[in-house]
Amino acid sequence: LPDSRDATAGAAAPFDTARLDALMAEAGLDVLVATSKHNVQYLLGGYKFQFFSVMDAIGTSRYLPVFVYFRGDAGRSAYVANAMESWERELGRFWLKDVVPAAWGTADSVELAVDRIRASGLPAARIGVEMPFLPADALRQLEAAFGRSAIGDAVVVLERLRAVKTPAELALVREASERVVEAMLAVFRAARPGITKRQLVEALRREETDRGLTFEYCLLTVNTGLNRAASDEGWKKGGVASLDSGGNYHGYIGDLCRMAILGAAPDQELVDLLAEIEAIQQAARKPIRPGALGREIIEAGEAERRRQPNGKAMAFVAHGIGLVSHEAPRLTASGPVPYPADDAGRPLAEGMVVSIETTLPHPTRGFIKLEDTVAVTATGCIGYGDGGRGWTVAG
């Protein structure tokens, strides 16, 4: 192996290695090969190589960071990086000793990872990968080295490892949420009649960027429309708008939805409609505390939805959020993102973060929605970015 040990590194792992070991044992995995940007960031304690933070492709291959973890032996962990990450190593960014900034594509990245697994003396190891984030050519390389049956999936192992956030992570989710809401309110303030959906998205992108966020997306409606894509449609005076945007702060996603009317106060019907949604959003927060089952959030929200006059037309969902926009605790099976609601029957824990959404695509008044971010505290819960949850008068 090339001598890549960094004499300045060797600190303790920045994640719960005992928990990772237990999750890997439960899944029958000896070695973990993480290749998604979000999980590599997590395992590196927050580090992400900026050069490839937006794109992946370069030449006829792609950037492929590889974090190799050996169950029960965190000190043996290796990070295979792009050659340009040598500058980051020089600056002491890494907790682990074996950092190898030497690769330019999938083939050389995986080869360096294979070398390390072979050198570990675990030739018959069962290797957990992230199937959706391992490139096909990398899979074939691992299969050629270790056999097809040696490869297992570690997506859920890593998701569970990340489910309880540290105070430092919670601070990032809070910042992300608050800054997204501040950016939305700034966009509402500056809006003038005729501003198009496309211009609103671009304004939000800039407001989020100016607040240190990486803008990810904005779904939006104006007037009575239910189509949430950007377009040249203009926002009219007196019209309703919904802004639903995700922006990340150092990788942690703030994802919220806020409502406004342009240059006018809401009429009583609009006030009532948002109050129905608000009642559901608050009802869903009520059961949140350590030890409550995930499904209690869904049950409380659904029960309140059924009580509302417009409840039948509404959709209520809740899902964990963090480095991934829908992650553990996974609570809703019937929502728009149909991943198994594996965590509905599991207890919530302090440090989990849940996004709660109630949506009403109203046939005559437009698209009305609130989406909030709520963290589980020692005794209950706290909302992050709870500003602007009523009707904002824009313009």
Site for a second copy in 227-286 (CB under 8 A): 227-231, 248, 253
Residue 334 makes contact with a second copy by CB under 8 A:
no
CA dihedral of residues 79, 85, 86, 91 (deg, nearest 10): -100
The span from the CA of 313 to the CA of 12, in Å, is 51
The region of 11-19, 211-219, 369-377, 382-390 touching a second copy under the rule CB under 8 A is: 211-219
Q: Which amino acid is at 339?
A: Y
Instruction: Name which of residues 20 to 49 contact a second copy (CB under 8 A).
Output: 36, 38
Q: Is the peptide bond before 329 cis (omega within 30 degrees of 0)?
A: yes
Separation in Å, CA 303 to CA 140, 281, 295, 298, 316: 49, 11, 12, 8, 10
Residue among 4, 220, 258 at smallest CA distance from 119: 4
Please name the helix (run of DSSP H) or strand (run of DSSP E) that holds residue 192, with its range, or none: none
List binders of a second copy among 83-102 (CB under 8 A): 83-84, 87-88, 90-91
Q: Is 337 in the site for a second copy (CB under 8 A)?
A: yes
How many chain residues touch a second copy (CB under 8 A)?
71
Q: Angle between the 106-119 and 136-146 helix axes, to the nearest 10 degrees?
A: 30
Instruction: Give the nearest distance from C-beta 362 to a second copy in angstroms.
Output: 17
Q: Which is nearer to a second copy, 283 or 352 (CB)?
A: 352
Q: Binding a second copy by CB under 8 A: which of 14, 104, 347, 377?
A: 104
Window of 9-17, 71-79, 178-186, 317-325 that interacts with a second copy by CB under 8 A:
317-325
Options 19-27, 126-134, 165-173, 177-185: segment touching a second copy (CB under 8 A)? 126-134
Q: Of 6, 21, 115, 202, which one interacts with a second copy (CB under 8 A)? A: 202
Candidate segments 205-213, 277-285, 344-352, 369-377, binder of a second copy by CB under 8 A: 205-213
Q: Does 363 bind a second copy (CB under 8 A)?
A: no
User: Which one of 13, 22, 27, 53 is in contact with a second copy (CB under 8 A)?
Assistant: 53
The correct pick among 276, 327, 343, 371 for binding a second copy (CB under 8 A) is: 327
Q: Quick check: 54 binds a second copy (CB under 8 A)?
A: yes
Sign of CA dihedral 6, 12, 15, 21: positive
Q: Report phi then psi at 360, rounded to 5.
A: -130, 100
Q: Would you count residue 169 as binding a second copy (CB under 8 A)?
A: no
Specify the stretch interacting with a second copy by CB under 8 A; choose among 67-75, 197-205, 301-309, 354-362. 197-205
Comparison of 162 and 295: residue with beta carbon closer to a second copy? 162
Q: Which of 4, 41, 77, 106 binds a second copy (CB under 8 A)?
A: 106
For a second copy, give the closer residue by CB, 119 or 339.
339
What three-state secondary structure class fits 92?
coil
The Cα–Cα gap between 68 and 24 comes to 13
User: What's the closest the beta carbon of residue 34 comes to a second copy, in angstroms?
Assistant: 12
- Residue 126, judged by CB atoms within 10 A of its CB (0-12, 13-18, 19+), counts as middle
What is the phi/psi pair of residue 372, to 5°? -125, 160
Strand partners, 315: 359
Q: Which of 305, 326, 369, 389 binds a second copy (CB under 8 A)?
A: 326
What separation in angstroms does the CA of 320 have from each of 202, 276, 277?
27, 23, 20
Smallest distance from a second copy to CB 342, Å: 9
Among 26, 210, 269, 272, binds a second copy (CB under 8 A): 210
Is the Cβ–Cβ distance between 287 and 297 less than 8 Å? yes
Q: For residues 137-166, which are near a second copy according to CB under 8 A?
A: 137-140, 153, 155-156, 159
Of the candidate residues 62, 118, 236, 362, the single one contacting a second copy (CB under 8 A): 62
Across the beta sheet with 127-129, the strand order is 98-103, 78-82, 66-70, 31-34, 127-129, 151-153
x-or-dash string of contact with a second copy, 339-358, rule CB under 8 A:
xx------------------
Beta carbons of 287 and 376 less than 8 angstroms apart: no
Near a second copy in 288-307, by CB under 8 A:
none
